[in-house]
């Protein structure tokens, strides 16, 4: 995709040190949105069977340092696997002593730490004797095994069995590790599911971080009725691939929202359910930091 925005887009480069993706909404229920794929959501254990990590869009969310919320065993809402003590499922009995979570390495997608099942106890996501573990690859697909002392191995991908055969299962997520520079000089978010098939409105983008006085931080937004996005989907305030939602040039810090709904594009995305954003940083800044991005939206 070629950009022709002479003031900004030609001099873009990814100089972002850290980016933590999160999403807020004016309504409480979408805060539970999972970024696990709604189809490719299954792990397998020989004793308990299928484990669903999407859970009707309220299941696991992969974040840049850890996983949150839970999966369910064999479609039973009473048989949970909690991947984070800070976001336990309804009715969970673990009192968070000790605290636990499944950790995520932003640089390579390697998972570690522990999950918890009220039925079976601790589930370990990496070990050395024998060597095992779970990781997320560059396209968001899980690989490898976790271990529980009662039920044994939990497989996150059918390729663990030297071929998938008639059961082509795996877990995949919209999260990506180690976001790096591309020929178009942008950093692209994971896919966010609003859970609304009737449409939604994006109100604003709020970012935290730091930059120099004359540098700019800008965003483009893409909406879709599916989890598939292409380059031409990402648009700015005038509905063009050559425009961006951007900060005021003289603003030396973050902490101010970029208003999207006041622009001539993205006021209400009727019939769309999913969105992503791309973030750009001006090359005039030698050391910008984006530590958090919040997209405010409502149904």
Sign of CA pseudo-dihedral 224, 225, 228, 230: negative
Q: What is the mean pLDDT of each run of 10 residues along the chain (299 residues)?
A: 37 35 33 84 95 95 91 88 93 89 89 95 93 90 96 92 77 74 63 88 83 74 88 82 70 67 79 88 66 83
pLDDT at 27: 31
**Tens-digit pLDDT profile for residues 224-239:** 988 888 877 888 888 8
**Tens-digit pLDDT profile for residues 129-167:** 889 999 998 788 999 999 999 999 999 999 877 667 677
DSSP secondary structure, 193-211, as one string: E---SS-BEEEEEEEEEE-
Radius of gyration of the chain (CA): 20
Which domains, from first to last, does the chain contain?
Answer: 9-30+177-298 (2.60.120), 36-173 (no CATH)
Q: Contacts by 261-266 with C-beta closer than 8 Å and gap 24+? A: 261/201, 261/202, 261/203, 261/204, 263/237, 263/238, 264/237, 264/238, 264/239, 265/235, 265/236, 265/237, 265/238, 265/239, 266/201, 266/202, 266/221, 266/223, 266/235, 266/237
**Tens-digit pLDDT profile for residues 77-95:** 789 999 999 999 988 888 8
Beta strand 21-25 with 289-298 is parallel
């Amino acid at each position: 995709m070629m950009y022709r925005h002479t003031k900004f887009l030609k001099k873009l480069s990814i100089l972002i040190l850290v980016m933590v993706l999160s999403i807020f909404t004016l309504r409480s229920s979408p805060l539970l949105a999972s970024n696990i794929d709604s189809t490719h959501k299954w792990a397998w254990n020989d004793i308990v069977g299928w484990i669903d990590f999407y859970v009707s869009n309220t299941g696991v969310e992969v974040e840049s340092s850890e996983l949150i919320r839970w999966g369910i065993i064999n479609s039973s809402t009473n048989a949970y696997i909690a991947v984070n003590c800070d976001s336990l499922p309804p009715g969970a009995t673990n009192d968070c002593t000790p605290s636990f979570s499944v950790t995520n390495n932003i640089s390579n997608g390697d998972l570690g730490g522990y999950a918890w099942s009220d039925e079976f106890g601790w589930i370990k996501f990496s070990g050395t004797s024998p060597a095992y573990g779970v990781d997320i690859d560059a396209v968001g697909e899980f690989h490898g095994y976790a271990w529980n002392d009662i039920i044994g191995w939990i497989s996150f991908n059918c390729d663990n069995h030297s071929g998938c055969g008639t059961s082509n299962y795996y877990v995949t997520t919209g999260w990506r590790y180690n976001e790096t520079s591309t020929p178009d000089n942008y950093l692209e978010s994971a896919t966010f599911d609003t859970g609304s098939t009737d449409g939604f409105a994006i109100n604003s983008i709020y970012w935290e971080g730091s930059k120099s006085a004359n540098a700019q931080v800008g965003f483009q937004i893409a909406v879709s009725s599916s989890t598939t996005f292409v380059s031409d989907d990402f648009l700015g305030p005038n509905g063009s691939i050559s425009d961006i939602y951007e900060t005021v040039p003289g603003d030396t810090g973050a902490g101010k929202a970029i208003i999207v709904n006041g622009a001539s594009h993205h006021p209400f995305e009727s019939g769309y359910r999913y969105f992503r954003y791309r973030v750009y940083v001006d090359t005039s800044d030698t050391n910008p930091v984006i530590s958090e991005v919040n997209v405010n939206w409502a149904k």
